[in-house]
A and B are shown apart, each in its own frame.
Chain A
């Protein structure tokens, strides 16, 4: 379908991380869907992490490696019994290598309705400068 207005959302099973090393905590680890947008000033990362609260998210930027980890606690109460289960809950984890130099002191993160918005401002030195070419 090309018309985005009439598009219907498709049910998708969350993709699981297949890492060579096992997680220390048992349970599944999912790959969150992300949008990454770049402007001259900053790189914005948007990640869908339903069930992850502001306190449960861990963002780490070391050298060029950005790591996002979110823990979604199981929302079920103690006395509830499964009738049927279509999705699993667990951890979210994803890593990116950033190609731009990021000003680590100005990183801003916001968690809203299960969506993480991460702003990574570029360093002054990494921002593009207009170079005018003189006609000789």
Chain B
């Protein structure tokens, strides 16, 4: 008991030594956010393509940067609450002498899960200027319902 109260000193729990490290990291992130004005560590699963997910009342929006990839070359499927994106980027080799070759080709596939069921029949996707946008309507059954309070 005495030992425990010593470890718990001063007030923070000591369940895991990593709690403290995580707290320090959060505080450092918060500090650098204040300096640069934007999130320092973007959340990333590290899987191509990188996506930005936004939402409004009715839909989720998934956007990915896929330069040089035609929309019909991307395979997309929706199941329940997840979206899978797969495809391949092919770069036709140019004739001539390469000075630089930085653009990369290859296959990709990724699955993104949402916290809500998706209305599969109404999912729409479009691509413009190398940005793929997928609009996923939230399922009607899971949308929050307004509850009217009756006056007694």
Residue ranges of A at the interface with B (Cβ–Cβ < 8 Å)? 4, 6-13, 33-39, 44, 46, 48-53, 72, 75-77, 79-88, 111-115
Contact = CB atoms under 8 A, between A and B. Distances in A.
Contact of A80 (B61, B66, B105): B61
Interface residues of B, number: 50
A113 B67 contact: yes
Given A50-B67, A84-B52, A8 B129 contact: no
Interface of B: 38-39, 42-57, 60-61, 63, 65-70, 89, 91, 94-108, 127-131, 133
A86 B51 contact: yes
Nearest to A86: B50
B67 A35 contact: no
Q: What 10 pairs between A and B have smallest CB-CB spacing?
A: A114-B130, A50-B130, A114-B67, A39-B96, A50-B65, A80-B54, A7-B106, A86-B50, A33-B102, A36-B99
Given A11-B49, A13-B50, A37-B97, 19 more contacts: A4-B106, A7-B105, A8-B108, A9-B108, A11-B46, A11-B47, A12-B48, A37-B96, A38-B97, A48-B67, A48-B68, A49-B67, A50-B131, A75-B133, A79-B57, A80-B56, A86-B44, A113-B70, A113-B129
Given A11-B47, A33-B102, A80-B55, A51 B97 contact: no
A38 B98 CA distance: 6
Contacts of B51: 86-87
B43 A48 contact: no
A80 B52 CA distance: 11
Contact of A9 (B100, B106, B127, B131): B106
25 contacts: A8-B106, A9-B106, A10-B104, A12-B48, A35-B94, A36-B99, A50-B66, A51-B129, A75-B131, A76-B54, A77-B61, A80-B55, A80-B56, A81-B54, A85-B39, A86-B51, A86-B52, A87-B42, A87-B50, A87-B51, A88-B38, A113-B68, A113-B127, A114-B65, A114-B130
